């Protein structure tokens, strides 16, 4: 096992992990403001990919126009989901709300391929495919761009949470009743969180879609995103950044080091085990806030 390979795997893994983290950001945003675990995030990412493709294909627009349009559209879509469905679920048991988002996931899984066709769609961002070497390490340009964009967006989310709008959202996540009483528009804050979740999911859908093509399997990003969100602590955005890096690097190294030993794809397992062990030490994730339970 040479160091170049380890280095290359770690770097690729880190970049891929950032791309997963971008899906997870939406889950955290929604959980942080409204306490809802959003199981539809994978399907929303898929929808974002489809939307971008549809705008580019049907309106004949170039990518740099189609992407912002899709982001705006999906921001609106996120708000619509909140308005049409989740607003009615306020105060219901958490597990029911999870199931509702799961229903949305199933609906979108039917709607998008049903409307636009099941055949895999090509989404070309114009990232050159030729290999780029750094010493003996190959830098995968697609992942380099993807990772960079993801990191930038996640950092932007962190900055947002320190702005005025972010403080409003933080207040809502702290105590909805108290926020209400000081004049914060709680519904709007939650709607914005869903809108942002829709937009970040779209960004992730576009990045992943350019790697694998756009079809329903983009919705499978949910599992990995959920794992990252939970490892980071469900209500922490910096946690997502770190957890994405950890999961990505661990998975990548597991593929390189452990797979040959056991003769099977251990990626998911190694990642899950690391998460479980972390949770046993820190039951609320790396940066999650501990709930103080009162009897």
Is the distance from CB of 238 to CB of 289 less than 8 angstroms? no
- Long-range CB contacts (within 8 A, 24+) of 111-116: 111/47, 112/43, 112/46, 112/47, 112/50, 112/216, 113/215, 113/216, 116/50, 116/53, 116/54
Nearest distance from C-beta of residue 295 to another protein, angstroms: 5
Nearest distance from C-beta of residue 63 to another protein, angstroms: 15
- Considering the complex, state which of residue 84 and residue 165 has its C-beta at the smaller distance from another protein: 84
Tokens representing 65? 């126009």
- Considering the complex, state which of residue 113 and residue 238 has its C-beta at the smaller distance from another protein: 113
Distance set, CA 248 to CA 12, 29, 171, 274, 286 (Å): 8, 21, 32, 12, 16
Nearest distance from C-beta of residue 110 to another protein, angstroms: 3
Nearest distance from C-beta of residue 159 to another protein, angstroms: 27
Q: What angle do CA 279, 238, 185 make, to 5 degrees?
A: 105
Report CA 196 to chain centroid distance, whole Å.
11
- Considering the complex, state which of residue 34 and residue 168 has its C-beta at the smaller distance from another protein: 34
Nearest distance from C-beta of residue 62 to another protein, angstroms: 17
Nearest distance from C-beta of residue 114 to another protein, angstroms: 3
- Considering the complex, state which of residue 129 and residue 181 has its C-beta at the smaller distance from another protein: 129
Report CA 74 to chain centroid distance, whole Å.
14
Distance set, CA 32 to CA 174, 175, 271, 275 (Å): 9, 11, 24, 20
Secondary structure (3-state) at 286: coil
Nearest distance from C-beta of residue 202 to another protein, angstroms: 17
Is the distance from CB of 57 to CB of 117 less than 8 angstroms? no
Which region, left, alpha or beta, applies to residue 135 given φ > 0 means left and ψ of -120 to 50 means alpha? left
- Considering the complex, state which of residue 124 and residue 181 has its C-beta at the smaller distance from another protein: 124
- Considering the complex, state which of residue 52 and residue 252 has its C-beta at the smaller distance from another protein: 252
- Considering the complex, state which of residue 182 and residue 280 has its C-beta at the smaller distance from another protein: 280
Secondary structure (3-state) at 133: strand
């Amino acid at each position: 096992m040479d160091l170049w390979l380890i280095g290359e795997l770690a770097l690729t893994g880190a970049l891929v992990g950032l791309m997963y983290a971008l899906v997870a950001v939406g889950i955290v945003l929604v959980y942080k403001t409204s306490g809802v675990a959003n199981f539809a995030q994978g399907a929303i990412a898929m929808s974002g990919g489809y939307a971008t493709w549809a705008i580019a294909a049907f309106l004949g627009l170039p990518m740099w126009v189609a992407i912002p349009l899709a982001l705006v559209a999906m921001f609106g879509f996120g708000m619509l989901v909140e308005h049409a469905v989740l607003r009615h679920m306020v105060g219901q048991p958490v597990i029911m709300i999870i199931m509702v988002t799961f229903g949305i996931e199933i609906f979108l899984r039917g709607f998008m391929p049903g409307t636009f066709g099941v055949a895999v769609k090509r989404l070309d961002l114009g990232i050159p495919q030729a290999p780029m070497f750094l010493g003996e390490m190959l830098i995968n340009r697609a992942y380099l761009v993807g990772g960079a964009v993801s990191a930038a967006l996640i950092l932007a989310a962190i900055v947002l949470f320190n702005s005025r709008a972010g403080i409003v959202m933080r207040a809502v996540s702290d105590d909805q009743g108290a926020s209400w009483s000081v004049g914060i528009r709680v519904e709007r804050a939650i709607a914005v969180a869903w809108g942002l979740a829709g937009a970040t999911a779209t960004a992730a859908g576009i990045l992943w879609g350019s790697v694998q093509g756009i079809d329903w399997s983009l919705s499978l990003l949910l599992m990995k995103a959920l794992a990252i969100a939970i490892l980071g602590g469900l209500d922490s955005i910096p946690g997502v950044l770190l957890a994405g890096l950890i999961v990505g690097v661990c998975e990548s190294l597991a593929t390189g080091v452990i797979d040959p030993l056991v003769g099977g794809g251990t990626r998911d397992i190694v990642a899950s085990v690391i998460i479980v062990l972390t949770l046993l030490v820190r039951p609320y994730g790396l940066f999650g806030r501990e709930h103080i339970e009162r009897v």
